[in-house]
Structure 1
Amino acid sequence: MKNLVVLLCMVCFFNSYSQSNQENDIKAINKVLKQQRIAWSNNDLEGYMEGYWKSDSLKFYGSNGVTYGWYNTLDRYQKAYPTKDHTGKLSFRINDITKISDGAYYVLGEYHIKREIGNADGIFMLVFKNINGAWKIIADTST
C-alpha cells in the first residue's frame, strides 16, 4: 500500500511538472508571436522575421507555393508588403497551440491586418521548434 501511495505521488508530481513545462513553452511561443505582431505593425519586416528559423531549411507555404529559406521568405514579404500602408496593423487570434513532441508545437490561428489600402485576413498554421533555447518558426502555412 505504501508503495502505491509513493507511486501515485510520483505520477502526480511528474504530471504537474510536465504541465508546467508545457505552460512555459506556450508562454514563450506567445511571446514570439507578440514580438512579431509589434514588429510587423511597425513595418519592421526584418524584426518580424526574427521569429523564424534563420535557415535555408525554413519553409513558407502560401498561395504562390513553397518558399524555401529565411532570406527568400523575407524577400517574399518585402515584395508583397513594400510600405507601411501595406503592412498596416497586425493582430492574431490564436485558436490552438498543440505539443507535437518535446521541443515542438504547432499553432493554428487567424491573422487580421487593418490598413488604409484594404484589410487583409487569413488563417495560418505554424510549426515552432525550440532551437538552441529559442522558439523559432520552422514551417509556416498561411492563406
Structure 2
Amino acid sequence: MFLAFFVQANTDKDEIISIMTAQETAWNKGQLEQYMAGYWQSEKLKFVGKNGIKYGWQATLDNYKLSYPTKEAMGQLKFEILSVETTEKTAFVLGKWTLYKETQDVSGFYTLLWKKIDDQWKIIIDHSS
C-alpha cells in the first residue's frame, strides 16, 4: 500500500514538473494563453502578487497581458523548482522564478497550490513575489 502511494506521488510530481516546463516554453514563445493552460480555468482561481489578489482565470490572464504587453517585455522565463509535496488530490510547489530581460533580469519566489481536477493537475492558488 505504501509503495503504491509513493509511485503515484512520483508520477504526479513528474506530471506537475512537465506542466511547468510547458508553461516556461509557452511564456518564452510569447504565448500567454498557452502559459495559462496550467491554471484552473475558474473564477475561483486566486493569484496573489505584489499588487494584491486577483480572482479568476480571465482576470489573471488580463493582468499578465497588461504587465507584459509584448514578447520582449516578457523576457525569458526560468522556473527553479525547490520542492514538490503531493497528496492524492493536492500538491504544493515552492520555487524561484527568473525573467531574463535585455535591460535587467528580475526574479522572485512562488508558492503554488495544485489540485487534481477531472484527473488533471491545475494551479488553483499562485502566490508569486
- Measured against the shorter chain, the TM-score band is over 0.9
1:130 and 2:116 matched: yes
1:99-138 maps to which residues of 2 (within 5 A)? 99=86, 101-138=87-124
CA distance in 1, matches of 2:64, 2:19: 18
Who is 2:67 aligned against? 80
**Deviations 1:1-45 (CA, angstroms, capped at 9, x unpaired):** xxxxxxxxxxxxx11111000000000000110010000000111
**Change in 2 beyond 3 A, CA 1:117/1:85:** farther
1:42-61 maps to which residues of 2 (within 5 A)? 42-61=29-48
Instruction: Tell me the TM-score normalised to structure 2 length.
Output: 0.97
Among the aligned pairs, what percent are the same residue? 37
Who is 1:90 aligned against? 77
Instruction: Tell me the TM-score normalised to structure 1 length.
Output: 0.88
1:139 and 2:125 matched: yes
Q: Confirm or deny: 8 A CA contact 1:86 1:117 kept in the other structure.
A: no
Q: Confirm or deny: 8 A CA contact 1:85 1:117 kept in the other structure.
A: no
Who is 2:18 aligned against? 31
Q: Which has the larger radius of gyration?
A: 1
Equivalent position SS for 1:53: coil
CA distance in 1, matches of 2:104, 2:59: 25
Name the amino acid aligned to 1:37: E
Query: How far 1:85 moved relative to its partner?
Result: 1.1
**What RMSD over aligned residues (CA atoms) do the two structures have, in Å?**
0.8
1:71 and 2:64 matched: no
Equivalent position SS for 2:83: strand
Equivalent position SS for 2:58: helix
Give aligned pairs, total: 129
CA distance in 2, matches of 1:117, 1:39: 22
Who is 1:7 aligned against? none
